[in-house]
Amino acid sequence: MRARSIAALFAAGALLVAACGDDSDDAGGSETTAAAGGETTVAGGGGGDCVVGVSWNNYQEERWAKWDEPALKAAIEAGGGTYVSNDAKSSAETQASNLENLISQGAKVLIVLAQDGTAIKPAVSSAIEGGVPVIAYDRLIEDPKALYITFDNQGVGKLQAEEIFKLVPKGRYVIIKGNSADANADFLRAGYEEVIGAAVTAGDIEIVSETYTDNWDPAVAQSTMEQVLTAENNEIDAVLAENDGMAGGAIAALDAQGLAGKIPVSGQDAEQAALNRVALGTQSLTVWKDARELGTAAGEAAIALCANADASAVAGASPFTTPGGVEVASMFLTPMPITQDNLNAVLDAGWTDSATLCQGVTAGSVAACP
């Protein structure tokens, strides 16, 4: 994948800021109504007719409510649009009906965080054929007319593996991948291969376990790690976990064996608990993908699509060929690895606070916790 400058993604932010709706400064109110598949939230914008429907795959995950949604809402409402959302609660079947529900509420553009990128394709194609453009948010949907907006996920995997490989250039690795129905799991794994592939071939690294994890579930990851530790008599040297939740599960299993902080573990998303684990030394790194930037990019793109449904015409978009050979318009933002050495970056950006980051950390043991 190609990482692109974040600045380039927002170059046209002002071009279509009023493409939908009027110039009213009244942000309006918000309400919650019952809908198929769970609650639907409606946030009033500037009174215009650019209704943007957002389908969350599982709104319970920390980052969506804390970071992505506020940025999405702000960008949509700044463009005069109205935000509408619902939650599939980890059900691919529910998510398909949720798209229909959003359209029935007047959505002119859909932003879809896919539970299953393959299962949702018919519903996405139907929406696009009906004149409702679709943004595949953070997770790939292989429809040639959809706009794919995400971080450079293969690059995320590469960053994770580079840090772990630096710490453990030779040894026995466990790889805990995400949901098999999510293309990101394989993109991340491809990033690992760029870094450790040659060492595996040479015999310097042995992959003793490599598994997908249903729903990226931390409890499943913990169970997997427990089973591996039992099978391998605790003889593990490194863990490549594809996100912070699963890293937390793996670390819980390691901790039960007195190994937390002794075996390097990767993660991504810069979750609050993960940042604290990095400060404590039980997690080697997390990869920070500032979801505020992703939400802003998607919200601005949605406003642009209200004016012109051609995804390839959105400013900052460029062609990307998917693993299935489908060419889609895409935007890739650049991630950042966070280790003990640069924890101040997330503090300075307001992503976390000192009390949360440094909880239980010995004062002065890391620069961010003096």
The whole domain housing 182 covers 153-288+336-357
Placement of tokens 């009174």 in the chain: 47
CA angle, corner 294, sides to 291 and 299, nearest 5?
Answer: 125
In a domain, 15, yes or no: yes
In a domain, 268, yes or no: yes
31 vs 129 pLDDT, higher one: 129
Q: Sheet harboring 109-112: ordered strands across?
A: 30-35, 38-43, 82-87, 51-56, 109-112, 134-137, 147-151, 327-333, 318-321
- Residues present in the chain in total: 370
Domain total of the chain: 2
Residue 210's SS3 state is strand
Chain-centre distance of CA 182, in angstroms?
11
Rounded-to-integer distance, Cα 314 and Cα 133, Å: 12
Placement of tokens 């007719």 in the chain: 49
What are the pLDDT digits (tens) for 291-324?
999 999 999 999 999 999 999 999 999 999 999 9
Residues 6+ apart with CB under 8 A from 79: 16, 17, 18, 19, 20, 21, 45, 46, 50, 299, 300, 302, 303
Placement of tokens 């931390």 in the chain: 218
Once rounded to an integer, what is the mean pLDDT over residues 30-57?
A: 61
What are the pLDDT digits (tens) for 155-194?
999 999 999 999 999 999 999 999 999 999 999 999 999 9
Say whether pLDDT at 99 is over 90: yes
Once rounded to an integer, what is the mean pLDDT over residues 80-92?
A: 97
The string over 312-344, giving b where at least 16 C-beta atoms fall within 10 Å of a residue's C-beta and e elsewhere, is: eebbbbeebebeeeeebbbbbbbbbbbebebbe
Distance spanning both ends of the chain, measured CA to CA = 38
Could you list the beta-strand ranges (E) of 158-244: 171-176, 205-211, 238-241
Cβ neighbours of 359 (radius 10 Å): 13
In a domain, 365, yes or no: no
Q: What is the CATH number of the domain that holds 215?
A: 3.40.50.2300
In a domain, 96, yes or no: yes
Q: Are 340 and 196 part of one and the same domain? A: yes
> Which phi-psi region, left, alpha or beta, contains residue 277 (left: φ > 0; alpha: ψ -120 to 50)?
alpha
pLDDT for 11: 37
In a domain, 276, yes or no: yes
pLDDT for 48: 59
Q: Are 134 and 209 part of one and the same domain? A: no
pLDDT for 263: 98
Lowest mean pLDDT among 35-49, 115-129, 335-349: 35-49
Residue 100's SS3 state is helix
Q: Are 79 and 179 part of one and the same domain? A: no
Q: Are 178 and 129 part of one and the same domain? A: no
What are the pLDDT digits (tens) for 138-151?
999 999 999 999 99
Q: Are 299 and 353 part of one and the same domain? A: no
In a domain, 370, yes or no: no
Q: Are 313 and 274 part of one and the same domain? A: no
Q: Are 40 and 86 in contact (CB under 8 A)?
A: yes
Q: Are 210 and 121 part of one and the same domain? A: no
pLDDT for 42: 55
Once rounded to an integer, what is the mean pLDDT over residues 315-341?
A: 97
Pairing of strands 205-211, 171-176: parallel
pLDDT for 62: 81
Q: Are 146 and 157 part of one and the same domain? A: no
pLDDT for 6: 34
What are the pLDDT digits (tens) for 250-260?
999 999 999 99
In a domain, 196, yes or no: yes
pLDDT for 304: 98
Say whether pLDDT at 209 is over 90: yes
Q: Are 16 and 60 part of one and the same domain? A: yes
> Which phi-psi region, left, alpha or beta, contains residue 269 (left: φ > 0; alpha: ψ -120 to 50)?
left
Q: Are 179 and 243 in contact (CB under 8 A)?
A: no
Q: Are 170 and 202 part of one and the same domain? A: yes
Q: Are 158 and 227 part of one and the same domain? A: yes
Residues 6+ apart with CB under 8 A from 104: none
Once rounded to an integer, what is the mean pLDDT over residues 49-61?
A: 94
Once rounded to an integer, what is the mean pLDDT over residues 93-112?
A: 97
DSSP state of 64: I
Beta bridge partners of 35: 38
Say whether pLDDT at 25 is over 60: no
In a domain, 347, yes or no: yes
Q: Are 134 and 122 in contact (CB under 8 A)?
A: no
Q: Are 222 and 352 part of one and the same domain? A: yes
